[in-house]
Structure 1
Amino acid sequence: MHVTIIGCGYVGLELARQLREAGHGVVGVRRSESGLRAVADSGADAVAADATDPETLTALPDTDAVVFAASSGGRGAEAARRVYVDGLDNVIREYGRRDDPPSRLVYTSSTGVHGDHDGDWVDEETPLDPTTEKTRVLAEAERVARETAADHGIDGTVARFAGLYGPDRYRLERYVEGPVTEGYLNMVHRDDAAGAVAFLLERDVARGEAVLVVDDEPVDKWAFADWLAAECGVARPEKQTTEERVAAGDLSAAAERRLRTSKRCSNRKLRDLGYEFRYPTYREGYREAIRTYGEG
């Protein structure tokens, strides 16, 4: 199989590594010179292109599958729209006009599109209810990934990632030093985020569908912080209720909506498809970060 990864960054580089290890051909697409060097260092073929600039997309190679994992760089909703909606549409149209388009696309979305469920469980059958401008953009991009791709003869799959963590993104100090707000954490280790996408491609499953990519155990933030503190041998951090955090008065409207959003995401579908997690829960996933913290 030949796979092209658009936006071959944090998850994409690990995906490229796993696919290459399994014997597949991989092209990683980035805009910047430093990004292209990182792709080349991973062993994948590096191609310079920008999803938001259609003229550059003629450089994309023909391929069996496309993974759209581009990032808007943490900027606002308009920047997100340019990348996730317009950029994704550009890539689909570029491939759709070719004589031999890819048979499938995987778009990496976010469980944020499910909005707030007051701590209840959500799965792929739960209606989308995004609560911020950015998550509404992500929901629109999911429609592009499935409907627009289908219009061009490409089967689109949406992989909804929970909160990513892993090397360089453990943010351990945030929880052991506090203060920690209330609510649930839905997480997935970077290696499993990449592993799940590779699994969907290699097993050729979930065409035209959405799949939640989240580990086995959503966890209460306070319980998670106390567990981390115990494992690191430090005092339990200060806790804050949502109302106490809001009362501090330094939150944007979007940040307050995110703070009030609570849900538990189920990975039943991904498990039933047959995926086996490298890090089934945060307990396994944070071991390296805890070891490093202790050494520091």
Structure 2
Amino acid sequence: MHATILGCGYVGIKLAEQLQQDGHEVTGVRRSQAGLRVLKKHGVTPLQADITEEQSLSYLPESDWVIFMPTPDKRTPQATKDLHVKGLQSVIETYASRSSPPRRLIYASTTGVYGDHDGRWVNEDTPVDPPTKRLAMYREAEQLIETVAPQRGIDGTVIRFAGLYGPERYRLGRYLEGPVVEGYLNMIHRSDAAGVITKLLCDQLLMNDVAIGVDTEPVHRWEFADWLADLHGKERPEKQSVEEYLAGKSYTKARKQRIKASKRCANKGLKEIGYKYRVPTYREGYKPTVESNNS
């Protein structure tokens, strides 16, 4: 099979590696020359294209699988709409107009669309409630996958990823130095984010469906920070409630809503398809790097 990864970055490169190891051909799409050099370094066939420019889309190769996972240049509603709504719509129309459209289109969304649940559990059956205009754009893009893609003869799948981490994205200082604000962390290691997509594609699972991409164990930020500090042999960091953390800060309304949001994302869908984790929890994910730093 041939896969085209639109926005072949942090997770996309790992996905490309896994698919190539399984004998599939992969084209990675990036906007910049610097991005193309990174793809070449990792042995991924590079293609320069801008998803927001329709003329650019004519260069996209024929593919069996298309994975849409670009990152907007700015964390604004308009930038997200241009890339994830208008861009995705153009990608669907471009591929659907071809004589051999792709079999699958996977869209990498975010668990942020669930909004705040005051620490309660959510799963694929939980109604979404995007708390900001930017997150509402992700939900709008999901609806394109759920309705427009099937109408155009393409099986679409939405994966709502939790917080991605792994090499170069451990953000240790945030939790070791504090203050650490209350609330739950939902995470997934880069290897498993790529692994979930690989399994869905290779085993033809969850077509025209939704899954939450998360590991097996959400953790409270305070518990995680203390565990990390103990592992490092450092003093446990200061803890703050949301109210204490926000006091005196002139954050935007959207940022305050993100900070207040707390939920525990269940891996119900991944359990049902029998996904086997490479990194089941934060313990396996963080311990090797911490031990390496201490050696």
TM-score by length of structure 2 reads 0.98
Match of 1:282 in 2: 282
How many equivalent residue pairs? 295
Match of 1:216 in 2: 216
Match of 2:52 in 1: 52
Distance 1:178 1:261, change over 3 A: same
1:230-269 equivalences in 2 (<5 Å): 230-269=230-269
Residues 180, 221 of structure 1: 8 Å contact kept:
yes
Deviations 1:126-176 (A, max 9, x none): 001110111111110100122111121101000110000111110011101
* 1:172 correspondence with 2:176: no
Distance 2:166 2:177 in 1: 19
Distance 2:16 2:259 in 1: 34
Shift in Å, 1:74: 4.4
Shift in Å, 1:292: 3.6
Deviations 1:9-43 (A, max 9, x none): 01101100110011111010111001111112222
* 1:163 correspondence with 2:166: no
After TM superposition, which residue ranges in structure 1, 4 or more long, deviate above 4 angstroms? none
Match of 1:229 in 2: 229
Match of 1:16 in 2: 16
Distance 1:293 1:230 in 2: 14
Residues 77, 137 of structure 2: 8 Å contact kept:
yes
Match of 1:199 in 2: 199
Residues 7, 29 of structure 1: 8 Å contact kept:
yes
**Runs (5+) with no aligned partner, structure 1:** none
Match of 1:34 in 2: 34
* 1:118 correspondence with 2:118: yes
Distance 1:88 1:29 in 2: 14
TM-score by length of structure 1 reads 0.98
Residues 19, 25 of structure 2: 8 Å contact kept:
yes
Distance 1:270 1:260, change over 3 A: same
**Runs (5+) with no aligned partner, structure 2:** none
Match of 2:185 in 1: 185
Residue identity over aligned pairs, in percent, reads 50
**1:282 maps to amino acid:** Y
Let me know the Cα RMSD of the aligned residues: 0.9
Residues 16, 42 of structure 1: 8 Å contact kept:
no
1:80-119 equivalences in 2 (<5 Å): 80-119=80-119
**2:282 maps to amino acid:** Y
SS for the counterpart of 1:37 is: helix
Distance 1:52 1:38 in 2: 21
Shift in Å, 1:268: 1.6
